[in-house]
Structures are given as structure tokens and as C-alpha cells.
């Protein structure tokens, strides 16, 4: 092979290990006038998580942060104006720290992480903050958008592709063995596992208390998630209406709700993290995004996971923990059925999921990562875990992580 025409710059770096240092999030709220964040700005939620990350890590000089990537699905109002930059300024980071905004719908925060991770691995960054926010009470998904009429007129997608609940019904059609009874049973399990995790103190340490203000109730303090319904039974779920289709299978009980909340995480080059004394919660192994038919967007995690497994040389049997976003129970079950994993497998969402705690769209990817990192610390027998989610308009995303506390075993 001929030598390159231009030699590498003297300070060019080899690919480096990317560490997930720590993630935090606000409690998740219910969207709407009665939700805990009805009177709270979206950008202020992001400010809270950035400040909390810095408070928890005084060993990190703020000027060492190379970038701030914040995702939002609906980038308007208090979720617009290049929110990664504006939130960084509002949080008190030095003006020398840049920032940017990302939109990949539900996988916004996941993409924020993978984007800055690529920069860290390449050597463009040493340390970055990545996260996401969604205030669905102020900005419902699709607010102000103007879809090109050719999308439907030219039959690029089925019209149901633009309504997420209808895409979940389409997944039911494609996989008739995934019955409503199965999705209701999974939803009840999610509520139960989440409630058990809260009681055991598994969920809570990552939450950032947020001062709230309501026009009627006055000032308050959000310290826990608002959406969960502990004690939910399959019998109760069976009585709920199916709003997306008469005699359908998708209900408010076996799907995530409309929620408000924000997440954030510190990512770093592993050597830099050790230099500064930052903890290493996880090590990035690989990631992949994949496209599917938009009208069955819920199956997106399947090809995304197959893609990243192939690229990393791992198999599904190497994965000891799964954090799967629960936009709809049917899409989780489609993933599990594909890989031959039982819905009650203790490796899958051991602390419950979005059906219980909520899914503020672009923020959820970092919630999955934060929980996986905390689970790794308790499970030195587990080496690899994944965070995966379906994405609107027909996509899926999966990230594989390695446990730095691994001592042998699975």
C-alpha cells in the first residue's frame, strides 16, 4: 500500500476508550396543566441536570468540558434556540464551552451520547455533556410541523406512520402472537418492578430535585416520578380503552404516557477520566442505528441490535443486562420474541421501565444508560449490557456497554 500523501499531524490520536461517567435526571412528570412541570420551562430542567452533574463532580473543572449536546424532539419555544448552548450558558458553564442541539425523536439523548462519544474516541473532545429534554405539556410531539404532502401522496409511507400509537397497532398486526393479554401482563410487570426498585432504593439516587410552581397550588418540590401507578393489575389494564383503533390492543396502560423531564450525563476519554479522578460507570463498546418501515417503527431495535452485535463480534447470549425503552409493550415483546428471551427474564428492565416511570421522548436514552450503569456497579458478574429503543419515523438505536466492575461470569 502506498504511503499516505499527507502524514498524520504530530498530535493526532489513536481511537480512545469512551467512558460513561455518570448520568442524572429530573423526576419525570405528567404532561399537561396538572402535571408537576406545568409552570416550569424546559430549558430550566436541562439547567438543573447540568448543574447537578457539576455539583456531584467538583473534581471536573468546568472549563475542561469540550461540548454540550442536548436533544429535543420539538425544537421550538423553550426547547429551541440551540438548547445545548443556551442551557450551558444558563447553567453557568464558561462561555468558552460550546453546545448544540440534536433531534432524532425518541433517541435524541441516545444520539447526543453517541455523537459526543465519536468525538471523544476520535480525539476531538476529552470530556462532554450529553442529554435530552422533552416538555410534552408545553410542546406536544409534532407541534408546528408541516410534513411534506408527498410523504403520503407519493406513498413513501403509510399514513399511520405519523401516529405512534397506530404504528404500535401495526406491530400487533404483524405479530399476532403478541396479544393484548401479553402486553398487559408485561405492563403490569413493569409497574411492579419499578415499584420494587423504588422501595429498595435503586431508583432515586440519580434524581435531581426540581423546584416547581403551579398557578393554583403554588410552589413545590419534585423529588419523585409522577407517572407510576403501583399496584396496577392485569385485570385493571384489560378494561382500558383502545384510543388508536376500535377493538385495538394499545392502551394508556400498556404504553408510556405523555411526559416532561430532562436527563444529562458526563462522557469522557477514559484516560482523562482517570487523570481527573472521575468515576467510570461504563465503557462504550459499540452502537448502531437502523431504519425500518415507518409504519412499524416499534421493530427498530431488532435490526439496530443485530447490526451492532455483528460489528462488535458479540452475540445476544453475551448480553447480561437489557435496558429497553418501553414506548409500547408490543415493541418490547417483539424484540424479546425475536431474540428468544422470555418477557419475565430478570435481565430485562430489572427496575421497570417507561410504562411505569414515563418517556419524555428525547430525554429517555440517557435514563436507560444511567440505570444500566448503576446496575453494572451491583453486578460484577455481568460484562456487557445494552440500551435500545425504537424511534419515530421508522428507526431503532442500540448501544452496547461494558461493565468496568466485571470480575468474571456472564
pLDDT in tens, 276-325: 999 999 999 999 999 999 999 999 999 999 999 999 999 999 999 999 99
At 148 the three-state DSSP class reads coil
* pLDDT score at 7: 56
| Measured distance between the N- and C-terminal CA atoms of the chain, rounded to whole angstroms | 41
Q: What number of CA atoms fall less than 13 Å from residue 398's CA on the CB side? A: 27
The residues, any chain, with a CB within 8 Å of residue 27's CB and separated by 6 or more, are 36, 207, 208, 209, 210, 222, 223, 224, 225, 226, 261
> Is the CB of residue 110 less than 8 Å from the CB of residue 79?
no
> Is the CB of residue 171 less than 8 Å from the CB of residue 158?
no
pTM: predicted TM-score of the whole model, two decimal places: 0.95
| CB atoms inside a 10 Å sphere around CB 92 | 11
* pLDDT score at 393: 94
For residue 143, what is its C-alpha cell? 407541534
For residue 249, what is its C-alpha cell? 390492543
Residues 188-234 have pLDDT tens digits of 999 999 999 999 999 999 999 999 988 777 899 999 999 999 999 99
390 catalytic residue (yes or no): yes
For residue 54, what is its C-alpha cell? 457539576
Which residue in the block uniquely carries the three cell numbers 442551557? 87
> Is the CB of residue 312 less than 8 Å from the CB of residue 286?
yes
Catalytically annotated residue among 106, 139, 172, 357: 106
d(CA 367, CA 361): 11
The residues, any chain, with a CB within 8 Å of residue 365's CB and separated by 6 or more, are 71, 106, 107, 108, 109, 110, 111, 112, 113, 132, 263, 325, 387, 389, 397
* pLDDT score at 1: 45
Give the chain's mean pLDDT.
95
Q: Which CATH superfamily is domain 18-138+256-399 in?
A: Thiolase/Chalcone synthase (3.40.47.10)
At 333 the three-state DSSP class reads helix
Query: Which bin fits 144, alpha (ψ -120 to 50), beta or left (φ > 0)?
Result: left
Catalytically annotated residue among 135, 172, 357, 390: 390
> Is the CB of residue 304 less than 8 Å from the CB of residue 330?
no
Question: Alpha carbon of 372 to those of 96, 285, 368, 400: distances in Å?
Answer: 32, 14, 6, 11
- Closest among 364, 299, 304 to 141, alpha carbons compared: 364
Question: Alpha carbon of 289 to those of 23, 282, 300, 321: distances in Å?
Answer: 22, 20, 8, 19
* pLDDT score at 410: 57
Beta bridge partners of 283: 19, 402
Query: Which bin fits 225, alpha (ψ -120 to 50), beta or left (φ > 0)?
Result: beta
d(CA 22, CA 24): 7
Question: What phi and psi, each to the nearest 5 degrees, are found at residue 239?
Answer: -90, -5
* pLDDT score at 17: 97
Give the containing element (helix H, strand E) for 243. Answer: none
247 catalytic residue (yes or no): no
Those residues of the chain that have pLDDT short of 50 are 1
Domain range annotation of the chain:
18-138+256-399
> Is the CB of residue 397 less than 8 Å from the CB of residue 327?
no
Amino acid at each position: 500500500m502506498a504511503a499516505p500523501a499527507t502524514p498524520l499531524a504530530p498530535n493526532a490520536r489513536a481511537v480512545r476508550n469512551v467512558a460513561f461517567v455518570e448520568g442524572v435526571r429530573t423526576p419525570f412528570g405528567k404532561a399537561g396543566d396538572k402535571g408537576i412541570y406545568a409552570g416550569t420551562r424546559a430549558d430550566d430542567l436541562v439547567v438543573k441536570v447540568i448543574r447537578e452533574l457539576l455539583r456531584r463532580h467538583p473534581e471536573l473543572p468546568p472549563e475542561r468540558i469540550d461540548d454540550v449536546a442536548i436533544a429535543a424532539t420539538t425544537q421550538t419555544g423553550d426547547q429551541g434556540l440551540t438548547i445545548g448552548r443556551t442551557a450551558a450558558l444558563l447553567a453557568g458553564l464558561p462561555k468558552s464551552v460550546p453546545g448544540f442541539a440534536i433531534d432524532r425523536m425518541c433517541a435524541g439523548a441516545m444520539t447526543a451520547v453517541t455523537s459526543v462519544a465519536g468525538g471523544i474516541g476520535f480525539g476531538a473532545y476529552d470530556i462532554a455533556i450529553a442529554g435530552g429534554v422533552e416538555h410534552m405539556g408545553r410542546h406536544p410531539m409534532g407541534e408546528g410541523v408541516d410534513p411534506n404532502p408527498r410523504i403520503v401522496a407519493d406513498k413513501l409511507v403509510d399514513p399511520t406512520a405519523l401516529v405512534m400509537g397506530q404504528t404500535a397497532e401495526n406491530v400487533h398486526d404483524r405479530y399476532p402472537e403478541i396479544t393484548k393479554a401479553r402486553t398487559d401482563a408485561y405492563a403490569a410487570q413493569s409497574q411492579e418492578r419499578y415499584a420494587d426498585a423504588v422501595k429498595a432504593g435503586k431508583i432515586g439516587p440519580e434524581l435531581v430535585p426540581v423546584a416547581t410552581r403551579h398557578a393554583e397550588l403554588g410552589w413545590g418540590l419534585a423529588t419523585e416520578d409522577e407517572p407510576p401507578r403501583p399496584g396496577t393489575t392485569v385485570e385493571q389494564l384489560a378494561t382500558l380503552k383502545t384510543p388508536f383503533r376500535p377493538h385495538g390492543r394499545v392502551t394508556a396502560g400498556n404504553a408510556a404516557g405523555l411526559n416532561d423531564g430532562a436527563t444529562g450525563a458526563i462522557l469522557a476519554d477514559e484516560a482523562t477520566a482517570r487523570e481527573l479522578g472521575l468515576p467510570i460507570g461504563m465503557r462504550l463498546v459499540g452502537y448502531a442505528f437502523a431504519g425500518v418501515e415507518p409504519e412499524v417503527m416499534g421493530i427498530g431495535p431488532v435490526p439496530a441490535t443485530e447490526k451492532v452485535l455483528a460489528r462488535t463480534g458479540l452475540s445476544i447470549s453475551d448480553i447480561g443486562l437489557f435496558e429497553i425503552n418501553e414506548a409500547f409493550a408490543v415493541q418490547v415483546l417483539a424484540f424479546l420474541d425475536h431474540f428468544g428471551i422470555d418477557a419475565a427474564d430478570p435481565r430485562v428492565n430489572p427496575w421497570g421501565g417507561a410504562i411505569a416511570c414515563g418517556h419524555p421522548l428525547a430525554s429517555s436514552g440517557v435514563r436507560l444508560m444511567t440505570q444500566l450503569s448503576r446496575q453494572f456497579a451491583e453486578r460484577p458478574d455481568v460484562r456487557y449490557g445494552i440500551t435500545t429503543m425504537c424511534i419515530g419515523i421508522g428507526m431503532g438505536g442500540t448501544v452496547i456497554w461494558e461493565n468496568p466492575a466485571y470480575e468474571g461470569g456472564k
